[in-house]
Structure 1
Amino acid sequence: MMFHVFPSGRLCSLRRALLVWLLPVFLLVGAASAGFAYWSYQRMASAFMDNQMELLAESMGAQEQVVALPALTRERVHKLGSYVVQAFDAQGHQRFSSWPDLRLALRETPGFQDVREGGERWRVYTKRLGPAQGSRSVQVLQSGEFRRHLAVSQAGTAIAPVIILLPLSFLILWGVVAMVSRAVGDIARQAAAQDEHNIAELPLDRVPREIAPLVVSFNSLLTRLRSAFATQRRFVQDAAHELRTPLAAIGLQLENLRGDLCTGAPAQRFAQLEAGVQRAQRLVDQLLKLSRQECTVAEAAPLPVNVREVLHESINQLITLADQRNIDLGLDASRLEDAMLPCPMSDLRSVVDNLIENALRYAPQGSVVDVRAESAQGRLVIEVEDSGPGIAPDLLGRVFDRFYRVPGSEVQGNGLGLSIAQAAAQRCGLRISLRNREGGSGLVARVETA
């Protein structure tokens, strides 16, 4: 079973992983530092104060008579750590005590001992004098609680910098991880900006060494994708060019044969053959447009295009198709100011031509196709409305896919027009949306500033 540093689910992140792994380590190091400081200072302080107790006992034993020391209070004994001195005669009776409230009998064993009296801990040093000093005994005591509090306070002083550094370290660590996350986010945004029209390797400058292999691998994948897309575009373009000439020749031959055919069944079959050739020619033309669009690279910012002029040119070009189908094609641009759009004219024409042509082909003969355009505060809106069969709501998003045609449609087509229009609109900074007309049949294609 493989061990993973990052937890699964919502906890899978650099920050949480660092918290999960480093927080216990920091806390353990802090606890160990506090324990070591407490242990080392307690040993050092105990050795020093034991030495003081021994010297005090030696000094008191050297006196021929018991020296009366000032009486102590409980506060001085337990909070200030004052030494309690007791003197005993040869029979072990207490002759003097600097704190009479403490009733601790003479220890039988000389030297240092830790005893408990009245629920309190004491450090005791017992000194037995020889016959020359009257076989007296001197006993020096110090509060064990004072020693413990002293060691704790000193250990706290020693560990205070560590306690302060812990949150500071976490803040610095959090900030470093945030900067690393932003760097990774920049790489992700650069990767997300890639599409089939603009595939470029991600820069490796300022990429952390640990992430560099991932970026290099991704660049290798992008190179293979760019090569695959280029091969696909070359194939489509070469195939379209190769098909264009023979299809044009077939169309000319059909024109020459039209006058030699009799009416009836031969003429009907000839019309079907001619319609099929025209569809093939239109498909080849659209494939060439599509391949040219995909070969477009980022150039200098295009010059602004007059939207009103583009609309008039498109309608003038498609008015012949409208007359053939007896469709009233109209333009309402009364609310269109002198809108200038920074976009290649060919792309804007591609958007408008495809939408109007689709409306003319799907609208029934004798109907109306309206084109409306308006602009306000730098926002452009163009709508093309027809009275055709419309599109089922669940299929409105799919009609932009290449070669997709609405099932049951009687209009001959190849499913490329809307795909080409959408790609051109994106390059112009526009967005295309479709909706069915309210209260009747028909479709409304809306182009607006993204």
Structure 2
Amino acid sequence: MVSLESRLKSRLLLGVLLVGIVLAIAVRTQVNRQQRELLDYQLEQVARAMLLSDLQDLQAWDDDPALHLDMQIWDRFGNRLYRSSTQIELGSDTSPGFSVLPSGPQADAVTLRVFTLRGDERTIQVMHSRELRRALTRDAELQVLVPTLIAMLIVAVLVGTAIRKGLEPIRELDEELSHRDAASLEPISLAHAPAELARVVRTLNRLLQQLDASMQAHKRFIANAAHELRTPITALRLEVDNLAHGQDPAQVREAASRLKMGVHRAQQLLQQMLTLARLEGHIHPQAWTAVDLDRLAQESMMNLSTLGSQRGIEFAFESSGSTVVQGDPNDLRLLLDNLLGNALKFSPENAPVDLSIHQHQDAVVLLLRDRGPGIAQALRERVFLPFVRTNPAIEGSGLGLTIAQEVVLNHGASLLLEDPPEGPGLQVRLSFPLAHAAQPEKPTNPV
């Protein structure tokens, strides 16, 4: 696997190389053009100067090495007045202006760049050899390209250094994580992290915090579960011993009945624990459907009506507006069963339980009110913790509200425990985001 540093360096250095190549080509082209124009300008200016100069001044021209040129001067009759080199064999009939000619008839003659200027009295021929012009051009190119190439190398080194320094916080993060194990969930601290990496660190810290809270919750759950299961299992063992040593048939039947009830309670406790474990690991489903809380509430009340009628408890139900929400119908049914079951459990005999579902702005609100002892304000947050019971005398596992809270959180809803508007009891307020536009108002349906 190629590292991010290697990938960045290869791409950026390749870009620097391409820029260097393009720059070198552009510089070479520009230097060639300017050098050619400069040398041609030199030939032309020397020719014009010699057209007006005295021939006695030619010694000074010959002694100047900076000119790098040769010269021939002819009079108007075609007689050569001056030649700077005996190797030059050009006639006086060269075309005016610039031309490229050999220096003589021999096979190895030097190619010349010649500028010819004709006057009334003289014809001036000033020339450079092509090799000399190429050598001067190469020298000029090197004078420009060498600093340019050095600058490009410096840029490449700076790019590599900047990438290495820029990725140093990532290496620090990797070093920090490599020394951790499953139990090391404390926040990550990078003192000099850039803004982009700081956001990643904040996200990781948030996830570590959530993971730590989840692991702590699971540890507490396991500890509480072990404690809660110890009592019913001990009771079951005692009942089994009584059943095994019982002699009287009546005592045996009574022990068998208690054993059956104990097994039933342990089964319910295990089922609720498994349900809570499933909900705590819940991920938003991909196939949520539109669920009518009105219909689910009526089905739940019908299932619990037999239990309520044994104690003279009746449900009063009404609904209005849209009662459709998006969610998992099985989990929402579990939520209603737990809330209605708690209301029945804590309600006194012959007391009604009121349930209403209505649309309020952009939410579906469910209000459930019983007339039991209620829950003290100081305990209303603790009752959502596993195995917390407000009244140990009443049979239960202390998981009902915990399961209800998990379902509510998984559906993006809210659950509040309130004092009823008047009288004793407890009011539960559930608010769900509205799934669809408001439907025609439904008539009140007392149950």
User: For this structure pair, what is the TM-score category when the shorter chain's length is used for normalisation?
Assistant: 0.3 to 0.5
**Larger RCO (CA within 8 A; separation ≥ 6):** 2
